[in-house]
Amino acid sequence: MNSAIHSSPPTGNTSQSGSTVGLIAGWGRFPILVAESLKRQNHRVACAAIRGHACESLNDICDEVRWFGVAKMGGQLRFFRRHGVQRMTMAGKLFKADLMFQGSVWLRHLPDLFCIRTMAPHFITRRKDTRDDTLLTAVTDAYLARGIEVCPATDFAPELLVKQGHHSTQRLNNKQQADVRFGWTIAKQMGGLDIGQSITVKDQTVVAVEAVEGTDACIERSGKLCGKRGFTLIKVAKPQQDMRFDVPTIGPQTIELLAAAGGECIVIEADKTIVVDQDEVTRIANAHRIAIVAVNDAELAENENIFAA
């Protein structure tokens, strides 16, 4: 089985104008923004849209679109080969808890042979775990072994990565700053264990930790625990973050949920977090007086005034 080959994150040129780039599209606006960016760069886009997740509007943006079940990896591979794809990317969320824990995985998704061969060590023999990084690395290695390089989506849409600084008019008070410094290292440790990307903190106490349920559910749970009295969301990249997949992402819905739950502050990692529809995120945050700040490890450790206006 060729999927034993382990690939490193690509560092080559992704700007070959006119080439056909493959896109595996999951839930949300992120795949749409990536497809639009690819088209602006004069690429053709062959989109393997995941049924039950991806948005129908991809049909109007991409040059070729075919809809697949999540476990139809062989069909996706043949689709990409038919359209001359040598480089592909993945964008959008898959609802892992729904996919894995609602009845028999194999019977519900009817995987094809390519998928079975790739995922057998994780779901049949159980020689390997089913953490996000483990599964997604298996997928990217399997495609590479068959001649298709998986590139970070942000190589094609770098404008989606958030820059360091304040991204709303609200500023962190002293208690929130203390919560961030307290929680940042803990969030990084959770990421290093591939448990989740987010934690919530109040009064230097961890309120909730994201796991398989995702950031949205973590936010909602925090609101119930804090009684809408204010908490801080910290969302970071893993220390070993592979930018090809599972990159921290927020968007307008994140801010709306945070406001509804009583959260007052969100701190994200600069240059390693995707912000979907950044202007709308800022508008909603300002309307709810929510502070949004992007920082990085080095600055947080070295700059005592990093949260100053």
If asked whether residues 165 and 134 sit together in one domain, one would say: no
Structural domain that includes position 11: 2-156
**How do the pLDDT tens digits run along the chain, 309 residues long?**
232 323 344 444 455 667 999 999 999 999 999 999 999 999 999 999 999 999 999 999 999 999 999 999 999 999 999 999 999 999 999 877 666 666 565 566 789 999 999 988 987 788 888 888 899 999 999 999 999 999 999 999 999 999 999 999 999 999 999 999 999 999 999 999 999 999 999 999 999 999 988 999 999 999 999 987 799 999 999 999 999 999 999 999 999 999 999 999 999 999 999 999 999 999 999 999 999 999 998 888 888 878 876
- What's 24's DSSP letter? E
Residue 21 falls inside a structural domain:
yes
Helix (H) or strand (E) segment spanning residue 302? helix 297-302
Q: Which residues of 191-217 are buried (b: 16+ CB within 10 A; e: fewer)?
A: beeebbbbbbbbeeebbbbbebebbbe
If asked whether residues 131 and 236 sit together in one domain, one would say: no
Quick count: other Cβ atoms within 10 Å of Cβ 55? 18
If asked whether residues 194 and 130 sit together in one domain, one would say: no
- CA-to-CA separations, 202 to 181, 222, 223, 228, 265, in angstroms, rounded: 12, 10, 11, 11, 10
Give the predicted TM-score (pTM) of the model.
0.88
Q: Residue type at 212?
A: V
Yes or no: say if 137 and 145 are a contact pair by the CB < 8 Å rule: no
Number of structural domains (the chain) is: 2
Beta-ladder partners of 48: 24, 66
If asked whether residues 267 and 167 sit together in one domain, one would say: yes
Quick count: other Cβ atoms within 10 Å of Cβ 127? 8
